[in-house]
Structure 1
């Protein structure tokens, strides 16, 4: 994926002293350099792959699908909500607990163009029971205990269905601090295995097609990406956990006949950017 600016503009640094201009090369040389540069860019783009051949683009280009036909969805341009006056961003050195002071609901990934909104997951608050219902029935009680142990504060969710039948759900869980959020994620996903089996994907395994350091991932946000391998029955589900500061997110895509990797990875990257 690519870099897309979602944070408010930072203070401009003092400009450095301007260097003395070098003599301009002949126009013929300039034209030749431009042609070779263009050719190199084209071949580099062709060789970088369908899903991640956009790492050199601006992050504002990604949601608008400047490169068409690779399966990405047309998401709205990302933007961060305003913070209460005097509150720092989550990864500011003055914010020891790495708290997202913005409204959690405003940090949810918005639905792409053409989506039909889920009438129950509208981008507002949902109960912990609704979140727990995503998991296998025999794991729900233990997961509910973990949510209480780590003092989850709020859960927000949004869902939609795309014209091709892909059903998407995004949950964000806010905890009192980054330490509690990390503890919940470890115990529910990476540790004893509680909560790792979605009801929609009981046999999920790590997604080998998700590259380490995927373009667009933020340095303060971690991702754990899973896919239901074949044979997966009538539907296939993909899901990922995105953790940044005091917030843990769950992203789920499922579709009859197979959930495509490209739009799912796109959703994971964009939600990561909103938390970072």
Structure 2
């Protein structure tokens, strides 16, 4: 009796073909005849074609899937639809690296460096300007004198501040400034003292009293400044302290944001200002502050 073979489930059956009923009892197993082995029956060509067709389909789909994964992983995040980073106003800074230390010199906050001295060249710890910036004359990343630094404050405060600096064991000041295409002016000053004790004393003298809740000396051209409520204290580097301020409304001809960073023997002043109603954007200001903080920490 010839055994009826049901077509595979994935092979289309012509509409005109009538399938025989499936028997209730399974067909008996074939009996091996004595004598020479019977030739193994060839599978129906229809089954072979189906197997080959589905094998080819699986290989094609697998190849396409692997190609897609490889393509996505090799693309930049901003090139993948749905994964692009929204432009939030951040500036394009170059990659940052810490300068090499002199032989056997410790890091500023290591246990063996009790004075918390930055042994690296202070000019190498200045944040580089971002892409598209135009350098400010006289603030090219080199040394500046006290007279240039105190111009950031009101005329009535400059003489007293100059005297404080003379009395505070100041070693030197490094500074860099630039202007962005939107008109934002940025200035960074790094004031290095003989030790953390002197830098802390000068830092405290910038304030009206010894309370950390007091406001420092106002900058030139500002009316009144307040604490920057958008700043997160944990954004700074370890072992450093940042005090961040914004000019109160209504501001003058330009909106000024500034911050002080106390990092061991060094005090940093970061200033962003921009004329007009729009004023200084908070995102690039915080970005600049965080990056400069990391270089000092």
SS of equivalent to 1:243: strand
Using the TM superposition, give the Cα deviation of residue 67 of structure 1 relative to its aligned residue in structure 2, in angstroms.
Answer: 3.5
2:210 pairs with 1:209: no
TM-superposition CA deviations, 1:100-119 (whole Å, max 9, x none): 00001000011000101112
CA contact (8 A) 2:208 2:216 kept: no
CA contact (8 A) 2:154 2:218 kept: yes
2:147 pairs with 1:116: no
1:249 to 241, 257, 268: 268
SS of equivalent to 1:230: coil
SS of equivalent to 1:269: helix
Alpha-carbon separation, structure 1, partners of 2:144 and 2:185: 18
Map residues 32-51 of structure 1 onto 2, 5 A cutoff.
none
**Match in the other structure for 1:272:** 293
**Match in the other structure for 2:258:** 239
Alpha-carbon separation, structure 2, partners of 1:119 and 1:141: 24
Give the aligned length.
Answer: 209
TM-superposition CA deviations, 1:25-53 (whole Å, max 9, x none): xxxxxxxxxxxxxxxxxxxxxxxxxxxxx
Using the TM superposition, give the Cα deviation of residue 130 of structure 1 relative to its aligned residue in structure 2, in angstroms.
Answer: 0.5
User: Residue 194 and residue 137 in structure 1: after superposition, are their counterparts in 2 closer, same or farther (change >3 A)?
Assistant: farther
Using the TM superposition, give the Cα deviation of residue 229 of structure 1 relative to its aligned residue in structure 2, in angstroms.
Answer: 1.6
**Match in the other structure for 2:280:** 259
2:202 pairs with 1:220: no
**Match in the other structure for 1:150:** 168
SS of equivalent to 1:165: coil
CA contact (8 A) 1:201 1:238 kept: no
Alpha-carbon separation, structure 2, partners of 1:220 and 1:190: 24
Alpha-carbon separation, structure 1, partners of 2:202 and 2:140: 25
How high is the TM-score relative to the length of structure 2?
A: 0.68
SS of equivalent to 2:190: strand
Aligned Cα root-mean-square deviation (Å): 1.6
What 5-or-longer segments of structure 1 have no aligned partner?
A: 1-65
How high is the TM-score relative to the length of structure 1?
A: 0.73
2:154 pairs with 1:136: yes
Whose radius of gyration is greater, 1 or 2?
2
TM-superposition CA deviations, 1:195-239 (whole Å, max 9, x none): 61100323111111112212xx11211100010021112210000
Alpha-carbon separation, structure 2, partners of 1:246 and 1:80: 17
CA contact (8 A) 2:172 2:191 kept: yes
CA contact (8 A) 2:223 2:252 kept: no
Alpha-carbon separation, structure 2, partners of 1:191 and 1:179: 17
2:102 pairs with 1:81: no
Using the TM superposition, give the Cα deviation of residue 254 of structure 1 relative to its aligned residue in structure 2, in angstroms.
Answer: 0.3
Alpha-carbon separation, structure 1, partners of 2:101 and 2:261: 21
**Match in the other structure for 2:89:** 71
Higher relative contact order (CA 8 A, sep 6+): 1
CA contact (8 A) 2:222 2:256 kept: yes
Superposition misfits of 4+ residues, deviation over 4 angstroms: 192-195
User: Residue 159 and residue 200 in structure 1: after superposition, are their counterparts in 2 closer, same or farther (change >3 A)?
Assistant: same
